[in-house]
Structure 1
Amino acid sequence: MSIVKFLNDGNLLNNLHISLTEFRNESRLLKEASSLVKEQVFDKVYVAALHSDDLELNQSCGDNIYVRRFKLFTRGYGKNLIVQLVKYIEYCINICFFYKNKKISCVNVHSLGLLPLGVLLKYFWNVSLVYDAHELETETNGAKGLRKKLSKWLERRLIKHTEMTIVVSDSIADWYSKEYAIQRPPVVLNAPNLRDLKRNNHFREQLGIREDQVILLYQGGLMRGRGVHLILEAFSARSDDKVVAVFMGYGELQKDIQAAAVNNNIFFYPAVAPQVVLEYTASADFGISLIENTCLSYYYCMPNKLFEYAMAGLPVLVSNMKDMSELVTKNQMGAVISDFSAVGINRAIDNFLVQNLSAMKINAYRVACEHAWEVQEQKMLGAYRAIGFSAAPQKVEK
């Protein structure tokens, strides 16, 4: 039974979001928190994250949004299974004691690994539990063999203890509904806020890219499974620098990109804050989202970079993953790459450049506005209302 939000001493109660990240560029969580505070669903939103020496222990992220990064004494003890379990227990204990008197009425967990903690807090604190599934976690590349079986067993049993599960694509919502025989979860897309359509020139000015060169932007995590090496191989094989690739982000493949930047058509730009990322996106000419079909989670994905490109008015090249290729094709906002090879990527780029890019830009921006965070926000607030949480009534001036 859902726990309905109530008033305490004239104040709204609070919301706790728990993440297994260091909370560096978690734009989705930050947008959710900002919307919940702005609409007065909760008085305060707390975010629990992991500490890193280059980040603040305590951070304010706007009105009534407070991040606490927890230092773990066990963090330097290694990464074997036993040590990881000890770290997890230490993190859970820290959270339980730090927030126990913070008037929490709803706990949001942002990964499957935190679902056991979420269920524990639900019953210990008598609060509502929201499972915010950022991907199809049991169907990722890392979910194999015994680990996959245990993950699905855990999710199957614990998901029914939540008041709500939120997912990021329609195919993932359908999968959850069918796989676990639960009500179809609400879909809240990873979309940016509305932005006026305007061009910038940051990359040309800061990287020395010529005005006559066309900029292809890869934006986001620099990790495996995202086609990074394929794009590098493709651009290393191109015979001219008429089209250049800019990689903006951070991750394990950053050094590979920087090494490949000896080519005069490959550039690296470090990740920027979520608040200004679209200002840089709008400095490119078109975007690429080359998710590789290596797992079901990727096949069903709807990456935030797709909507960020579109909100900056960029036509897009995407791989043939189900949901995002359907969106691009249906709305004529780009092209789909089906040949995952350096030759195939270069052929797609060359074909793309002779299309009507002006029409694609208009379509891309229209789609971005139709799916902007202001639209997703209303879907999210409606889902919270369905489990007993709603905006505080406005005070009437006498």
Structure 2
Amino acid sequence: MNNLHISLTEMRNESRVLKQASSIYNSSSFESVFISSLWGEGLEMSENLNGVELRRFDLKTRNYGNNLIIQILKYLEFTYTVYRNYRKNNIDIITIHALALLPLGCLLKVLYSSKLVYDAHELETEKNGLGGLRKKLAKWLESILIPFVDHTIVVSNSIADWYKSRYSIENVSVVFNSPIIKDIKKNNLLKSKLGIDSHIKLYIYQGVLSKGRGIDEILDVFGKETADVAVAFMGYGMESEKIKEAASASDKIFYVPAVAPAEVLSYTASADVGISFIEPVCLSYDYCMPNKVFEYLAVGLPVIVSNGKEMSNFVEEHGVGWHASNFSSDELAKLVQHSCKQDTSIYEKRSKEISEKYKWQHQEKLLLEVYKNVTE
């Protein structure tokens, strides 16, 4: 059997797609596993990722602009390009990694006579920034096409419940976006790199640097904090310039560019507390269970999380840190002030125990069970 994953990204740091494709390939249930995506400057057109064949497509319409008509043309070109390049590969299962790919996935399901798996990386129709006509179209599109999906994979229990209730379907499975656990020891990498004294308690934010993820609140808190604490932001996104400016004006705020996925956990292990302060402005954020929380736990860090339903319930249930009662700078400041007085090293064993329970090595078993059931 052969499995094709389709992504509308450039596959620069798409760890979830890569983990899934690698787990499926290594299961030996599939002869070939392919990933198709978009090409970007400085990237290889094709790569062999330990057996998984990645191809990036440079669309002719790429430089024509971004208005609605051009976007439609880009989508049609990508659709035809993917179809043409894999039509002779006997694709048995197609896995799409975004709601926008549902039309393409359904079309290829018919053309290839294959099964279709929809991996929703978030609650697609309820995500931040989606509103008005676009939201109505997204809801309409998903409701019309999801009956043609053989199985839907989601990233949290609340999202699974939402899909089952909304569409009256049962073929939904939760596969947490947790890391592949490696034996990574505590280290001094970040403090050494940034020139931070060893006695300073270092908080870390890793991930996309965008609005709605608590960036302003974190900057506000650490810009005023007088205790021996500091925060390091690691990642990429539209808020990076704001963070760089704040870092230049404060000795408690630091910015570190995103690193390769294989290096991330080594940096994480050099901090003392992980922060995931996502504002629950939409259901997708309220129900999210970010991979960064699992990464913090994997290296033994306690976490500070916002008042989103999934994250706060998880932290309270497992005793791996502190969660906010409301989303505000004042509430975050209280959590920072409380945690900075704690011996956070006592959380190391507990965090790693919980991480062991949810690690990717367990999640991939759930993933492979989905593929097994789809093919039966």
**TM-score, normalised with respect to structure 1:** 0.92
Task: Indicate the SS of the match to 2:4.
Answer: strand
Question: Which residue among 67, 78, 91 is the counterpart of 1:80?
Answer: 67
Pairing 1:218–2:205 present? yes
Equivalent position of 2:244 in the other structure = 258
Pairing 1:246–2:232 present? yes
Equivalent position of 1:160 in the other structure = 147
2:229 alignment partner AA: V
Q: Kindly provide the CA deviation profile for residues 58-91 of structure 1, in whole angstroms up to 9, marking residues without a partner as x.
A: 11211x2111111112122222211111111111
Quick one: percent identity of the two aligned structures? Answer: 46
Task: Indicate the SS of the match to 1:116.
Answer: helix
1:342 alignment partner AA: S
Pairing 1:335–2:318 present? no
Pairing 1:388–2:375 present? yes
Equivalent position of 1:8 in the other structure = none
Is the 2:187–2:270 contact (alpha carbons within 8 Å) kept by the matching residues of 1?
Answer: yes
C-alpha distance in 2 between matches for 1:276 and 1:162: 35
C-alpha distance in 1 between matches for 2:187 and 2:342: 23
Task: Indicate the SS of the match to 2:231.
Answer: strand
C-alpha distance in 2 between matches for 1:348 and 1:256: 23
Equivalent position of 1:299 in the other structure = 286
Is the 1:136–1:172 contact (alpha carbons within 8 Å) kept by the matching residues of 2?
Answer: yes
Compute the displacement of 1:141 (Å). 1.9
C-alpha distance in 2 between matches for 1:197 and 1:86: 46
Equivalent position of 1:124 in the other structure = 111
Alignment of 1:284-295 (within 5 A): 284-295=271-282
Question: Which residue among 34, 37, 45 is the counterpart of 1:57?
Answer: 45
Alignment of 1:139-158 (within 5 A): 139-158=126-145
Equivalent position of 1:105 in the other structure = 92
C-alpha distance in 1 between matches for 2:310 and 2:327: 18
Equivalent position of 1:362 in the other structure = 349
Q: Kindly provide the CA deviation profile for residues 108-145 of structure 1, in whole angstroms up to 9, marking residues without a partner as x.
A: 00000000000000011101111001000100123212
Is the 1:176–1:184 contact (alpha carbons within 8 Å) kept by the matching residues of 2?
Answer: no
Is the 1:173–1:184 contact (alpha carbons within 8 Å) kept by the matching residues of 2?
Answer: no
C-alpha distance in 1 between matches for 2:157 and 2:63: 40
1:198 alignment partner AA: K
Over 3 Å counting, the alpha-carbon distance change for 1:282 and 1:56 in structure 2 is: same
Compute the displacement of 1:184 (Å). 4.9
2:146 alignment partner AA: I
* Number of residue pairs matched by the alignment: 375
Equivalent position of 1:313 in the other structure = 300
Task: Indicate the SS of the match to 1:42.
Answer: coil
5+ long unaligned stretches in structure 2: none
Pairing 1:352–2:343 present? no
Alignment of 1:19-58 (within 5 A): 19-58=7-46
Is the 2:234–2:256 contact (alpha carbons within 8 Å) kept by the matching residues of 1?
Answer: yes
Compute the displacement of 1:195 (Å). 2.2
Pairing 1:230–2:203 present? no
Is the 2:229–2:340 contact (alpha carbons within 8 Å) kept by the matching residues of 1?
Answer: no
C-alpha distance in 2 between matches for 1:143 and 1:184: 26
Is the 1:56–1:69 contact (alpha carbons within 8 Å) kept by the matching residues of 2?
Answer: yes
1:250 alignment partner AA: Y
C-alpha distance in 2 between matches for 1:184 and 1:34: 23
Equivalent position of 2:162 in the other structure = 175
C-alpha distance in 2 between matches for 1:343 and 1:237: 11
Equivalent position of 1:7 in the other structure = none
Task: Indicate the SS of the match to 1:192.
Answer: coil
Is the 1:137–1:143 contact (alpha carbons within 8 Å) kept by the matching residues of 2?
Answer: no
**TM-align CA RMSD:** 1.3
Compute the displacement of 1:197 (Å). 5.2
1:259 alignment partner AA: E
Is the 2:33–2:53 contact (alpha carbons within 8 Å) kept by the matching residues of 1?
Answer: yes
Compute the displacement of 1:341 (Å). 3.0
Compute the displacement of 1:153 (Å). 1.3
Alignment of 1:131-142 (within 5 A): 131-142=118-129
C-alpha distance in 1 between matches for 2:343 and 2:316: 14
**Larger proportion of helix:** 2
C-alpha distance in 1 between matches for 2:365 and 2:53: 23
Is the 2:36–2:56 contact (alpha carbons within 8 Å) kept by the matching residues of 1?
Answer: yes
2:27 alignment partner AA: E
Q: State the 4+ residue runs in structure 1 displaced beyond 6 angstroms.
A: none
Task: Indicate the SS of the match to 1:24.
Answer: coil
Is the 1:220–1:305 contact (alpha carbons within 8 Å) kept by the matching residues of 2?
Answer: yes
C-alpha distance in 1 between matches for 2:278 and 2:247: 22
C-alpha distance in 1 between matches for 2:80 and 2:164: 32
Pairing 1:17–2:5 present? yes
Is the 2:231–2:253 contact (alpha carbons within 8 Å) kept by the matching residues of 1?
Answer: yes
1:93 alignment partner AA: Y
Is the 2:272–2:344 contact (alpha carbons within 8 Å) kept by the matching residues of 1?
Answer: no
Compute the displacement of 1:338 (Å). 2.7
Compute the displacement of 1:357 (Å). 2.5
C-alpha distance in 1 between matches for 2:16 and 2:52: 14
